[in-house]
Amino acid sequence: MLLAQDHQFKDAYSAFEDRLFRIAKRLLISEDEAKDATQEVVIKLLQMPKKQRQQLKSLEAYAVTMTKNYCFDRLKSKHAQQDFLDDSFIQRADSQSLNKQLDRSDALQWVGKLMDGLPEKERLILQLRDIENYEFDEIAKVLTMPETTVRVYLSRARKKIKEKFKKVDGHGL
């Protein structure tokens, strides 16, 4: 196996493998799709010449960018759109009994579900900043957008989550 032959890559990758999966899961929602996305990124990284990988400033940042791009491509495909609609329908059906779910779930689980309803960019920026603890400049590089734009998207995303959570928590809706 290629991965076993490149121990240096294996060590570097294992440090951020979970992070790539969580980003892919947040974007694609489906756990299976996220696993596939993570695996595809690893394969592409392994196929890259070792010398080229070593010249990267940050293998992790490059891998995050690859994951993000792969996920966006999947979301644009017709197959992914159908899966997303199916997942959304299931989530909406589950949310009909929010009072029961609130009794069973803690606040973090609800925030995660509310994040899934955000637009892609807001969801990704919130994931990178608040969950993965990336700095604004790192997020701006990964998403190829100005740092101020990242801050605006993050502010909007947090505001939406806060408002939705207040409705769920205060009214049981």
Condensed to tens digits (0 to 9), the pLDDT of residues 58-104 reads 888 888 888 888 888 877 774 544 555 555 555 554 554 554 544 44
Average pLDDT over residues 114-121: 84
Average pLDDT over residues 137-143: 87
Contact in structure between 33 and 74 (CB atoms under 8 Å): yes
Q: Is 107 helix (H, G, I), strand (E, B) or coil?
A: helix
| Alpha helical stretches, state H, 48-146 | 50-54, 59-76, 78-94, 98-104, 107-116, 120-126, 136-143
Burial 6-41 (b: 16+ CB within 10 A, else e): beebeebbeebeebbbbbbbbbbbbeebbeebbebb
For residue 15, what pLDDT band results from cuts at 50, 70 and 90? Answer: confident
Residue 154 clears pLDDT 50, i.e. is over it: yes
- Which tokens go with 42? 């690893």
DSSP 8-state secondary structure symbol assigned to residue 55? T
Contact in structure between 41 and 9 (CB atoms under 8 Å): no
Q: Tell me the pTM.
A: 0.53
Q: Which domains does the chain have, with CATH numbers?
A: 1-76 (1.10.1740), 97-173 (1.10.10.10)
Question: What is the total residue count of the chain?
Answer: 173
pLDDT at residue 88, rounded to an integer: 52
Contact in structure between 114 and 165 (CB atoms under 8 Å): yes
**Rounded to 5°, angle at Cα 54 from 8 and 133:** 80
